[in-house]
């Protein structure tokens, strides 16, 4: 578990002095160009901007932490998807936790910590309805609301329990298991009574983290040998549930390992996000018919009604020490693009977080 907590005392707002028509100085990261393949530094631009003072029903938030997530890569393309694309010359956005430094909204007083969707910038002026107050949990950093108690946590919880319909006694395979979502999926499965939990990761260090810290029964380094062969050894009796963060050869291996009536929660396919040519589909897709398999995709934003249940159950596990998590923290807004690319390359263990204030 991360061992830092942020300072909750609001600092003076740059440019705050003056009349009601004043502006607030802030820095932000903008999309400078659309990537062809892997993003590069040239696709991002740092910029200074002036924000208007909050109007009635709005708050000014100083961001403390921001999230970089795989889905953001798709938004860099000018293509229709479940989220609108980022706009050229405009700041990127995404999950952030900040502190209210000025308010013109009842119930959101200065000093309150909030979760909102305006990351990639130092300050944000937002409508009160776009901010959710978060409580400080002793021993848990506020950044957890971008990970274990946020979108990744809800993704893991809903994907395993609702989409894949996991049942006690079943065997579970998680690809990309050392990431923000995958590590939580494996732990939830263990806590809910899985017969076996297997994960894949991209280094021996991450494999050890899965088995020695997170309690996976088996794990393997997908860079060392074919995934299908390694999964067959790690789950010799087959699997019932597959949580897919990777796609590609991992999905193909899972189809081969499935027992009858297996179910896959299709969360992501990070292995193909930066390819320039469409990859071929799994060569063994016909197994879906004979094994009576269910492959179901999902978008976590469709399941926000489950957020209170997730926070209640996972919050209890956190307080009791039954659930653990790790964060890879990068300091400085200017380093957010590099953190984003590192996350896509799998450099991080657990949730990749950018800390703006420390």
For the cut 80, the answer to whether the pLDDT of residue 143 exceeds it is yes
Q: What is the pLDDT of residue 144?
A: 94
Q: Among 10-19, 149-158, 202-211, whose mean pLDDT is lowest?
A: 10-19
Q: What is the pLDDT of residue 295?
A: 97
Q: What is the mean pLDDT of the chain?
A: 91
Q: Which percentage of the chain shows pLDDT scores above 70? A: 93
Q: What is the pLDDT of residue 289?
A: 97
Nearest Cα to 2, choosing from 270, 348, 335? 348
For the cut 60, the answer to whether the pLDDT of residue 8 exceeds it is no
For the cut 70, the answer to whether the pLDDT of residue 75 exceeds it is yes
Q: What is the pLDDT of residue 3?
A: 32
Q: What is the pLDDT of residue 9?
A: 41
Specify whether the CB–CB gap between 257 and 250 falls below 8 A.
no
Task: Please give the average per-residue pLDDT across 53-59, as a whole number.
Answer: 95
CATH class as words, domain 23-146+325-355: alpha beta
User: Looking at domain 151-301, what is its CATH homologous superfamily?
Assistant: NAD(P)-binding Rossmann-like Domain (3.40.50.720)
SS3 string of 128-147? HHHCEECCCECCECHHHHHC
Q: Which percentage of the chain shows pLDDT scores above 90? A: 82
Return the higher-pLDDT residue of 273 and 348: 348
Give the span between the Cα atoms of 150 and 323, in whole angstroms. 15
Task: Kindly list the domain boundaries of the chain, sorted by start residue.
Answer: 23-146+325-355, 151-301
For the cut 70, the answer to whether the pLDDT of residue 5 exceeds it is no
Specify whether the CB–CB gap between 307 and 154 falls below 8 A.
yes
For the cut 80, the answer to whether the pLDDT of residue 296 exceeds it is yes
For the cut 70, the answer to whether the pLDDT of residue 16 exceeds it is no
For the cut 50, the answer to whether the pLDDT of residue 70 exceeds it is yes
109-130 pLDDT, tens digit per residue, is: 999 999 999 999 999 999 999 9
| Residue 298 banded pLDDT, cuts 50, 70, 90 | very high
Helices (H), the chain: 71-75, 151-158, 182-191, 204-212, 227-234, 249-257, 287-290, 307-320, 336-344
For the cut 90, the answer to whether the pLDDT of residue 6 exceeds it is no
């Amino acid at each position: 578990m991360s061992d830092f907590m942020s300072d909750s005392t609001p600092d003076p707002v740059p440019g705050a002095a003056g009349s009601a028509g004043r502006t607030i100085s802030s820095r932000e990261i903008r999309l400078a160009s659309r990537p062809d393949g892997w993003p590069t530094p040239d696709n991002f631009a740092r910029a200074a901007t002036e924000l208007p003072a909050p109007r009635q029903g709005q708050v000014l938030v100083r961001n403390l932490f921001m999230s970089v997530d795989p889905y953001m890569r798709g938004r860099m393309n000018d293509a229709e998807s479940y989220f609108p694309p980022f706009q050229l010359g405009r700041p990127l956005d995404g999950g952030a936790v900040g502190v209210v430094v000025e308010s013109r909204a009842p119930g959101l007083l200065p000093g309150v910590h909030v979760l909102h969707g305006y990351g990639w910038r130092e300050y944000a002026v937002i409508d009160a309805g776009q901010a959710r107050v978060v409580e400080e949990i002793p021993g848990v950093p506020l950044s957890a609301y971008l990970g274990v108690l946020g979108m990744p946590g809800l993704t893991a919880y809903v994907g395993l329990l609702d989409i894949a319909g996991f049942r006690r006694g079943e065997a579970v395979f998680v690809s990309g298991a050392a990431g923000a979502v995958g590590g939580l999926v494996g732990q939830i499965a263990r806590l809910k009574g899985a017969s076996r939990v297997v994960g894949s990761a991209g280094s021996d260090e991450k494999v050890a983290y899965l088995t020695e810290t997170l309690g996976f029964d088996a794990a393997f380094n997908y860079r060392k040998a074919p995934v299908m062969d390694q999964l067959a050894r790690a789950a010799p009796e087959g699997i019932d549930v597959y949580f897919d963060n990777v796609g590609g050869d991992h999905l193909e291996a899972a189809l081969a390992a499935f027992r009858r009536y297996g179910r896959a929660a299709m969360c992501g396919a990070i292995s193909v996000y930066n390819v320039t040519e469409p990859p071929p589909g799994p060569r063994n897709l016909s197994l879906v018919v004979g094994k009576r398999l269910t492959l179901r995709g999902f978008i976590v934003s469709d399941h926000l009604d489950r957020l209170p249940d997730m926070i209640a159950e996972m919050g209890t596990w956190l307080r009791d020490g039954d659930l653990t998590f790790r964060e890879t923290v990068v300091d400085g807004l200017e380093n957010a693009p590099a953190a984003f690319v590192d996350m896509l390359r799998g450099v991080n263990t657990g949730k990749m977080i950018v800390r703006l204030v420390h």
